[in-house]
Structures are given as C-alpha cells and as structure tokens.
Structure 1
Amino acid sequence: MTVSRLRKIPGIGVDRVGDAADALCDPDILRLENLDTDLRPPAVALARTHEAIDDDAANSYLPFTGLRSLREAAAARVGHSAGVEYDAASECIVSAGGLAGILNVLLAIVEPGDEVVLTDPTYAGLINRVHLAGGVPKFARLRPGPDGWRLDLDSLTAAIGPRTKALLVMSPSMPSGYVPSPDEWQAIARHCENGGLWLVYDAAMERILFDGRSVVHPASFPGMRDRTITVGAVSKEYRMIGWRVGWIVGPQSIMNDVRLVSLSNVVCQVGIAMAGATAALTATDDGVAAAVAEWESRRNFLMDALSDLPVIRPHGGWSMLIDTRSLGIEPPEASGLLLDHGKIAATPMGGWGPGAERYLRFVFANEPVSRLQDIRERIRCAWRT
C-alpha cells in the first residue's frame, strides 16, 4: 500500500517521455522534454573539478554544511542580487542540488497540514516536495496573455488562508518562463509581511532573463530579508547539471533548523563538485550572459516559427508552454503524436498545477536553432495543424 505522503504525487512526466525517446535511439529526435542544455559549463569550473578528483580533501564528508569558500561565494551572490548582506558562516548552507535545498527548507518550516502557496502552472517537483514535507499545496493562477504570463493577484489573495505557512515562488518559473513584475513581487512581499509568512524563493534561473529584464530579488523589499529563504544552484545558469551543488541562504533565525534537516537528510554535498561550483561563482567570466543570449535567440526562433500556434511567450528560463487543448488535442495525446510522427519529445503538464493540464512543454535549452529549422513542419505532420 502506498504511504500517504506519496498518494498525491503522480511523478513529473519528464521521465516517461525521456525514457520513450531514449528507447528509440534516434538522433533526429528533437529533445524538448527535459531540462538539459548543450551549452558548456565555465572552463574554470571544469578545470577545478578535474583537480578536485585528485584532491584527497575533496573525498570527504566534511565540512557538512559545505566548503567555506563556496558558502562565501553563494552568500555574496545572493547578497548582491538582493542588495543586502548575508553571513556565510551562519546564513548559508550548501545543498546537494537546488531541489534538495527546497525540500530541506520545507521540512524546516512546514508542520503537517500547513499550506504552501505556489503559482499555477509550476514545476511538479516543487508541488511534490510540498507533499513530501507534509504540506498542502495551494495555487495562485498565472494568466497567459500576448506578452506572456501575469500573476492573478486576486487568485493569490484567495489562496492565502489561516493555515498558510509559506509562499514558494520560482523566477523565472518553470515550465512557463513567468517572471514576476516589480508590482507582483511587491504584492507577494505584502502578503508575507501581513501574514507572517515565509517566502521560499527558488532562484535556480534567476539571471536567465529575456527582453532586457533585470533581476528583482524579493529580499530587497523592506522587511523581506528576514522572511526570504533563497535557494539557488549551479545547474541552470552555470550549465552544471551533473554537479548537484546548490545553496540555501536565509536569515540566521531559521538556518540552524535548515542545518539540522540537511544533516539528517542528505548529510553532505558532492565533495568533488564543490571546488568547481566555487570556481563558477567566482569566475571573471562565468559565461552566463553569452548563454542567456543564445537561449533567448532560440526562444525568439520558436516564437516566430510557431506564431500561428497557441504558444505563450516566456519572460526567461529554458521552456515555453503550448495550449494543445485549444487545438482540440489533449497534451498526453499531443506528446505521443509528436514523438511517433514528428520526432519531437515534449512533456505534457499533468501534475504541474490545476491549470497546467491543458499545456505541453517545449524546452529550448538543449537544441540549437540549426536543429529546430523544420519544427513547424514536424508539428504539422504530427497534429495535422
């Protein structure tokens, strides 16, 4: 019998589509289902990782909360974004990837039955981790429009109740590419202040912003430094998915509890990966700007190529959503047709929020424009649209 904490977790779907694409062993398949990228990590990060493999000190459990140099770099990175200072010794912990950090934070702040408000759509892995922590997910709607997604502020207000413990917001959000406007961040901050709520900020893609947008960190708003817990990672911006290194930065008042969870959960981080992560965070040129320019060009190409289809424009991130239900095709069927007849792997958004069921996700981080040239014709062959 399935334990209760798993009964509302359907999975994420990406694994099933990815396995189906892998089984075909066809290099012509466009891999738009999974958040990988073909862009290389910073050269200095690769070099330091190679060195760490031969460094006996890196083959260790210690220090349990992460290398001091990495904690200093992560605290400085978050502090720079937020315009505030964090103490690396007491306000930063290294995690085994960003999502391990999210789960550790939720386990440190959520009592069974507490509610956590997320945007809808949002990454299924975030929803699942709320369930794993014993929490109850509630949702604030994102509304699609000609210029992308916007937060429904009335829906946000309605989602917050007496059992709400935290808001969990990712920016740019996955899978939609939604980025809160300054006014939307202000509304989020106001709810946190008025309700005494935590804001768990998933900053995994913070700098992957398009159309000239700038980073707005929620801890920069008055009163929010002591209510915001930032979780970041090297996976997306730094293109270092396999390193499994992230960080948690927040006020000292909660970080000892996060530390206790971290010690009781994964215990420690990937020792041979932390030197490379530190090198990426402190590099003179981390390659993020060039990578963002490339991802934006791919986004632009797809928006043009698919202009006659109901694709919602992402503000940033690695993916976009297409409303296949409005075309008369349910997303699971649309996904199957694309793989079978269009050689495109794409994930239906079941389990990614109540309003996500009508969407199919296209990831543009892993396929260059040269391989996307015939994507509209592939879709036409698969869907007859």
Structure 2
Amino acid sequence: MVHIRPAQLRDIAGIGVDRMGEVADTSQRDYLRLENLDVDIPPDPEAVARTRQAASRDADNSYLPFVGQSRLREIAAAHVSALTGLSYDGRQNCVISAGGLSGILNVLLATIDVGDEVIVTDPTYAGLINRIRLAGGVPRFVPFIFHPGDVWTFDREALAAVIGPKTKAMLLMSPSMPSGAMLDSDDWQAVGDLCVRHDLLLIIDSAMERLTFDGRPVQHPVALPGMAERTIFVGSSAKELRMIGWRVGWIVAPEAFLPDIVAVSLANVVVPVGIAQDAVAVALERSAETLPPYVAELQRRRDVMLDELAGLPVGVPAGGWSMLLRVSDFGLDGAAMSDRLLTHGVCATGMRGWGMQHGEHYIRFVFANEPVERLAGLGSRVRMALGL
C-alpha cells in the first residue's frame, strides 16, 4: 500500500526537540541539557504527596467527571479570575484538558473553520503552529522585533497589517515561547482594539504568564471593552507548577464557548489523568506562595546565560524558560549550530518551522533544566562552536 500523507499534515513541521532529546538520552556523554522544556526544580511537595494518595483512591481512578474534577475546575476558574479581575465560574466557564497543548487544540477545533487564519507571533513554538494546521487553520505570522542584547518587542503595525477577511483569531502567549518576549499594556491595548474592530477571537496560551523577570507584571487585555466575551485562556500545570508529567491543563472561556469545547474534548482525549487532577489543584491553589522562589531561580539562570553569551546576538528573555541566539550572523542556521554544539557537549535545538522570519536563523537554549553551576562555561563552548 502506498501511503499518501493527509492534506492536514502537509505543512506539519518537526519540533526538533524530540530528536535532540533522544541524542542526549541515548549517549554516554554528560551533555549540558539545553534542548527541551524539562525542569530540574521539583514540584510542590504537597502536590507530590497528593498524587501518591490519589494513586490508591478509587475515586481518582475514574473517567468521571468527563469535563474534569469539580475542585480543580473551581480553583482554575478562581485563578484566572484573580489574575484578570473578572469573575469566572468553574462549572460554567472551565474544562480540564490533558495538558496545555491538548487544550489549545481542543479550543481551535471548537472555534475555527477550515481555511480560517489564526495570527501568531514569529517565532512561535512549532507545536502551536502545528495545532493550528491540524485544526484546518492557516497561521499568519507577526514577527517580534529582535534587538541583539536587549528584549524583543511586539510589532503593533505588523499586527494590524496582517489581518485580512479570513482572519478568525489570534493565538498569543506572553511571555512567548521560545523568545521570552512579553506584550506590554500598549501592546495588549492594540490587540484588544483590533480584536473588537475585526470581531476576532483571542486565545491566550497562559502556560508561562507568571514566569516574568525584572519585576514585570502579569497583564491581560480581557478587561478592555468588548474583550471578555471573546477571550479564552488555556493554562497548564507543566511550566508554572513544574508538573510536566502530570499532563493537566485547563480552559477558561466565556460560557457560550463551553458546549463546543466540551464536545471536542469528549471526542478527543476524553479526560486528563484522574490521579493527577487534585494534585494540580493543590499546587495551583498554593502557587502564589511557591512560585516566587522558582521565578527568582529562573531569572538567576537567565542572568548567568546573558553573562556567558555577552557580546553575541542574543535576545534577552523578559520571562519564560528559553533564550535565542541568532546564528545566521555567523553564516549558520539553527540545525547546523545544533550539530556543532553537540561536539562541545551542549544539546540545544534549532528552530526550523518555528516561524517564517526568525525560526531557522536561531538556536534555542532552555535554562530550566540545568543549575547555575553547570551553566558556567557555556559561553566558551558556544564561541568555539561558532568558530570564534
């Protein structure tokens, strides 16, 4: 039988992280692991204890409720309410998903038609771009502006110019992955104005929204006029709560969207892991207390990375877990630089398919999975790989 790739997979790009992770996992070499979004900082101990307890409870070994356990839905809704200043209800506004990316796909399947355009930033994690395509959508890219040695900035003029008659939604993340770029209040005002003017849906991937550096506040456009009815939040236990293996996320949306999101959720993964849900509820409820030391450690690692790579064309992350180095300045693409770094004991990921303008010109370094002591000396390895 001759296999013909389905049309919806024609433009699906590999994420590269899986290949690099396998290289490091199967090697006997002690690579500096900067290639994927794992984290070496453990989750809240109370959440771990609740997971162990849940593994032996019959009530947690269940498909029910299909939309997620009631306590987690209420806590997730309360969490989004506290950050936005609006009032969301767990029963009316929240569905639990099997991780954040599963939640993104479910929202896209529930809200866009084949051929609809969805605006994303450039660069954007290929997994998000792939999910737009799986849902039948067409990604439209708005490049961040790269400032070597400084933070990335949002191009509001480019955002306005990319909107066309087929544009249905924006899918935005702040801090954005992989650049660490953040939208400020003027950026969100522009987003809100355009969404209302063109009747667009706003999907916010809030997986990293509290991982902000240098005292930057968490900001949302949902309280702007006309935005509450058109904004959907998709959160995750993975990055902020450091519960990657639990595979739990949440969707908080206006009530009008819930029936279709539930329908897609039941037709897709059905339910997230039962024994993980209340542990996530514990961690999320306690996160206002447990998050600040974790964010401070991430910022410390970022600062060490910046010191190591000083003088090279890097974008300064305003938040998140990763930092980008533009290797095209040295006649390389990300894939070639990735191969070179392996010879110097560093595992890092190229970004082909992570955007139209910025993707393959960069190498991505994740600083969530290595302590400061191991990050020291990275600069000399990078410079050797660049031939400097």
TM tier, shorter chain? Answer: over 0.9
Report the AA paired with residue 33 of structure 1: E
Deviations for 1:87-136, whole angstroms, at most 9, x for unmatched residues?
11111000000000000000001100000000000110010000000000
CA distance in 2, matches of 1:26, 1:64: 44
The 3-state SS of whatever aligns with 1:321 is: strand
Q: Which residue of 2 aligns with 1:185?
A: 188
Residue 118 of structure 2 corresponds to 116
* Contact kept? 1:42, 1:286, Cα under 8 Å: no
Deviations 1:336-355 (CA, angstroms, capped at 9, x unpaired): 00012x10011111000101
How far off its partner does 1:284 sit?
Answer: 6.9
Letter of the 2:283 partner, please give it: A
Structure 2: distance between partners of 1:190 and 1:361: 32
Check the 8 A contact 1:280/1:286 in 2, yes or no: no
1:232-381 alignment runs, 5 A limit: 232-283=235-286, 286-340=289-343, 342-355=344-357, 356-381=359-384
Q: Is the 2:75–2:281 Cα contact (8 Å) retained in structure 1?
A: yes
For the 8 Å contact 1:301–1:369, the answer to whether it is kept is yes
Kept in 2, the 8 Å contact 1:44–1:283? The answer is no
Mapped partners of 1:258, 1:327: distance in 2: 46
In structure 2, what is the equivalent of residue 47 of structure 1?
49
Q: How many residue pairs were aligned?
A: 383
Matched residues in 1 for 2:167 and 2:58: separation? 46
Partner of 1:206: 209
* Structure 1 residues 286 and 280: CA distance shift in structure 2, 3 A: farther
Q: Residue 229 of structure 1 corresponds to which residue in structure 2?
A: 232
Over the residues paired in the alignment, what is the CA RMSD in angstroms?
Answer: 1.0
Q: 2:252 is matched by which residue type in structure 1?
A: V
Alpha-carbon distance, 1:17 to partner? 1.3
TM-score (norm 2): 0.97
Instruction: Work out whether residues 241 and 287 of structure 2, in 8 Å CA contact, stay in contact via their aligned partners in 1.
Output: no
Aligned equivalent of 2:25: 22
**Deviations for 1:154-207, whole angstroms, at most 9, x for unmatched residues?**
211121111011000011110000110110011011111011110000000010
| Alpha-carbon separation, structure 2, partners of 1:284 and 1:248 | 18
1:49-128 superposed matches below 5 A: 49-128=51-130
Contact 1:21–1:339 under 8 Å retained in 2: no
Tell me the equivalent position of 1:7.
Answer: 10
Which residue identity is paired with 2:91? A
| Aligned residue type for 2:213 | F
In the alignment, structure 2 segments of 5+ residues that lack a partner are none
Q: In the aligned structure 1, how far is the partner of 2:251 from the partner of 2:50?
A: 22
1:49/1:127 Cα in 2 relative to 1: closer, same or farther (>3 Å)? same
Instruction: Normalising by structure 1, report the TM-score.
Output: 0.98
Structure 2 counterpart of 1:230, which letter?
F
Q: CA shift at 1:286, angstroms?
A: 4.7
Q: For residue 127 of structure 2, what is the amino acid of its counterpart?
A: G
Structure 1 unaligned regions, length at least 5: none
User: Post-superposition shift, 1:222?
Assistant: 2.3
Alignment of 1:133-148 (within 5 A): 133-145=135-147, 146-148=149-151
Shift of 1:319: 0.2
* Letter of the 1:164 counterpart: T
